[in-house]
Amino acid sequence: MSEATTLTHQDSSKTVFGFWVYLMTDCVLFASLFATYAVLRNNTFGGPSGAELFSMPFVLTETLLLLTSSFTAGLAIVSQHAKRQNLVLVFLAITFLLGAAFLAMELNEFVHLASEGNSWQRSGFLSAFFTLVATHGLHITVGLLWLLVVAVQIMRKGLTFSSIQRLTLFSLFWHFLDVIWIFIFTIVYMMGVA
Amino acid sequence: MLGRLTLDAIPTNPITLGGAASMILGVLFIAALLTYFKRWKWLWTEWLTSLDPKKIGVMYIIVALIMLLRGIGDAVMMRAQQAIGTEGGFMDAHMFQQVFSAHGTIMIFFVAMGLMFGLINVVLPLMLGARDVAFPFLNSVSFWLFVAGMMLVNVSLMVGEFSAAGWLAYPPLSELQYSPGVGVDYWIWSLQIAGVGSLLSGINFLVTILKMRAPGMTLMKMPIFAWSVLSSMVLVIFAFPILTVTLALLALDRTLGMHFFTSSFGGNPMMYINLIWAWGHPEVYILILPAFGVFSEIVATFSRKYLFGYKSMVWALIAITFLSYVVWLHHFFTMGAGANVNAFFGIMTMVIAIPTGVKVFNWLFTMYKGRIHLTSPMTWFFGFIATFSIGGMTGVLMAVPAIDFAVHNSLFLVAHFHNMIIGGVVFGFMAGLTYWFPKIFGFKLNERLGKYAALCWIIGFIVAFAPLYILGFMGATRRLDHYDPSLGWKWLFIVAAVGVGIILLGVGFQILQLVYSIWKRKENLDKTGDPWDGRTLEWSTLSPAPSYNFATIPHVAERDTWWVEKQRKVKRETKYEDILLPKNTGFGVIIAGFSLIVGFAIIWHIWWLAAVAFVGVVVSIIVRASDEDTEYVITAEEVKKLEHKRASA
């Protein structure tokens, strides 16, 4: 049975597969940014290096916020399987708050660095640092916006095929961003401080 | 209010003004025609908002062919300058640099990529026995992003200037310090926007091939063209994100004062070289693999034989796909990597020639003991075999780093890559356009004029580029706007200019072929849907193919399934069903339109406009996503009526 002929049966497999392919392209995008960071990480041009700038407790807090938000996103999916619409919305709200808190901390870190004269214009190292971490932050921002749109859709139309599909894709995206953060946490912050 | 945009941005140079004026006149002329024949609504509803991949494909091809004229115009100007060369030519250095930068950028990104995506859109779903691609709306978005990128390049001719840093904009030249104007920014943003379109298409076609083949069509029963598209799209998926990042980093350097590739503050220009070629090498394989696929179909059809060595063709495609990721340094052997690194990449570059050679021999073996029909597509094929093989050999020659040190960035290199792109990519897509034209438009193109066109292109190419090989050996470097008369190069440049003239004659024959064939179309109607006695599924449906492609999705049992059905005189069951198709939508145009404004605004530092337009992109996406009513039904009854009406016409 070909895709376009059947009106009665709606199937996510093409869309989910396509989204995985997109996530792999996003992976290559981040890989290029990591490669650039690796090449430029010692190009401090007399300015400060990671060891002097990064605060591990701060980064640990960010990490816990993001990882927990992935957990609550997972709980939202479990609630969706159980067809409990209100619980879905509750967990989505918590995920949003945790993600927004992560973003706020990250923005705070950037403003703090820039105000001390250690902005992205200071050196190759700092350009690479800001771009890699901010690209992840931009993806988180897009994710939060998406989360809002999906939540609104669920509130208005309920757990329809379309909103469930979008919720699934959102959760894939959110978990993916979590994995990328783990790489950032390890390669940029931990290895930077070591 | 308007950033750094002022009236000074309008060019004063007569050549640039001439180019800009002819472009504006062309657009006005088309607008006048549309108004006179009252076709604006038709254009919008039948073409611009369509999600039918056949229509999107035709639009890609039209845009690409128009850009081909601009790219050839640049080529003519360069050949003329260098043929006059010693007396100073008619372009100063800065203009010449913009011309060769525009020439390369336009030809690769807007002609070759456009023709490729156009042909794939037109052919792939039909060939797979599918009705559409996996994500029809994304397909439209991809096309319109391509158009937005194209428009930015053309706007640069009228407002501001284009990049003078070559088609790849190496830093430090492309950084603010040495290119403070808007040229490089135009280059960055037109490619960034078009590049997103390409990446989306890569995902789209990959999923289409893997998820939407007709029942029974396993991967090893797919036509080789589909395999070549699969390989090419895998390359797109891995390579284009690298381009996105590289362009973004250069933009960040230029716009936000960062230091990725600057010559001080800890920047590393070599990082750019590596990144851009890590994209750039797969890019040329992205272009050539579908052209190889086109030839595989054409050679089998016009030899009345199964393609020789199907399995080895598949393995060759996979091998080339993988290997194209480990050769990129051969583009800059001379830039300090050291002997061991150079040796690795040199060997890998030679290795990649082997699966390509396998393909060439398989085509030849397909012809052996076949019944050859020397049609115009086959003429293009013979031109390809002769020229591409020579170009390939010059590539293997340059794969030896020691030799490359002598010919790197000489005209020998320029001749080599034009050999591959014209002899391979262009000839392949011209052959494909001729071959599949009747499937889309319902009538064949005039064969005789097609052959004259092909011959002019083949001969013209040889006359234009053989002198360049010789000049390269004589020490002529690329991108020279003038040279010393004592070198004795002038007569070779004159011969090359004559060659371009012959190519122009070929283009003239193609335009004549199109006009004549349209005029005489009633006498050349394709009544059966199978004008070439083809082998694959697209020839089993009517010409022009209806919006739904197939009334009944065919079942496939073997390779070259249509050919087998014809031999065994299999009668197809016609069981009509309701068909679901995507509705037209203007959101592709809208999203790309906002993207165009974002690009223009960033280039000119009109920050408020960039922000507003960016919000426009986001809002458009959300609005479109909230639309639940995106498909329409053709009932089984209506399908039956349409099919019978066509069959009796």
Structure confidence by residue, pLDDT tens digits, A77-124: 999 999 999 999 999 999 999 999 999 999 999 999 999 999 999 999
User: Distance, in angstroms, between B577 CA and closest chain A CA?
Assistant: 7
- Residues near B329 by beta carbon (within 8 Å), at least 6 away in sequence: B274, B277, B337, B341, B342, B345
CB contact under 8 A, A36 and B203: no
pLDDT value, residue B86: 67
The secondary element (H helix, E strand) that includes residue B579 is strand B579-582
CA distances from B176 to B172, B182, B250, B275, B555 (A): 8, 10, 10, 19, 59
Mutate to test the interface with B, among A1, A5, A163 (most CBs of B within 10 A): A5
- pLDDT tens string B347-358: 999 999 999 999
CA distances from B165 to B142, B175, B409 (A): 27, 10, 14
A39 at the B interface (CB within 8 A)? yes
Whether the per-residue pLDDT at B164 is higher than 90: the answer is yes
Give the percent of chain B with pLDDT over 90: 94
The pair of three-digit structure tokens given for residue B558, joined into one six-digit string: 């073997």
pLDDT value, residue B85: 75
Place of tokens 């230029």: B254
Chain A residues with CB inside 8 Å of B172's CB?
A: none
Q: ipTM greater than 0.90, yes or no?
A: yes
Place of tokens 């135009």: B186
- pLDDT tens string B587-596: 999 999 999 9
A28 at the B interface (CB within 8 A)? yes
pLDDT value, residue A3: 42
User: Is the CB of residue A5 less than 8 Å from the CB of residue B631?
Assistant: no
From chain A residues 119-158, the ones with a CB under 8 A of any chain B CB are 120-128, 130-131, 145, 149, 153
- Compute the mean pLDDT over every residue in chain B, rounded to the nearest whole number: 96
**Confidence at A6, pLDDT banded by 50, 70, 90:** very low
Q: What is the mean pLDDT of residues A151-164?
A: 95
**What whole-number distance in Å separates Cα of residue B582 and Cα of residue A4?**
9
- pLDDT tens string B80-97: 999 987 666 789 999 999
pLDDT value, residue B649: 62
Instruction: Find the closest chain A residue to B241 by CA distance.
Output: A29
Whether the per-residue pLDDT at A67 is higher than 60: the answer is yes
pLDDT value, residue B474: 96
Rounded to two decimals, the pTM is 0.96
CA distances from B489 to B75, B118, B418, B583 (A): 18, 40, 20, 59
CB contact under 8 A, A25 and B237: yes
The pair of three-digit structure tokens given for residue B304, joined into one six-digit string: 């009345």
User: Distance, in angstroms, between A63 CA and closest chain B CA?
Assistant: 25
Q: What is the mean pLDDT of residues B503-523?
A: 96
Whether the per-residue pLDDT at A5 is higher than 80: the answer is no
pLDDT value, residue A194: 80
Chain B residues with CB inside 8 Å of A32's CB?
A: 241-242, 245-246, 275, 278
pLDDT value, residue A10: 73
CB contact under 8 A, B242 and A124: no
Mutate to test the interface with A, among B271, B541, B549, B575 (most CBs of A within 10 A): B271
- pLDDT tens string B241-290: 999 999 999 999 999 999 999 999 999 999 999 999 999 999 999 999 99
Chain A residues with CB inside 8 Å of B268's CB?
A: 39-40, 43, 124
A38 at the B interface (CB within 8 A)? no
Instruction: Find the closest chain B residue to A4 by CA distance.
Output: B580
Question: Residues B352-386, buried b or exposed e (16+ Cβ, 10 A)?
Answer: bbebbebbbebbebbbeebeeeebbbbbbbebbbe
- A29 closest CB neighbour out of B245, B252, B258: B245
The pair of three-digit structure tokens given for residue B99, joined into one six-digit string: 């011309």
Question: Residues A1-38, buried b or exposed e (16+ Cβ, 10 A)?
Answer: ebbbbeeeeeeeebbebbbebbbebbbbbbbbbbbbbe
CB contact under 8 A, B241 and A29: yes
User: Distance, in angstroms, between B649 CA and closest chain A CA?
Assistant: 26
B634: helix, coil or strand?
Answer: strand
Q: What is the mean pLDDT of residues B129-156?
A: 97
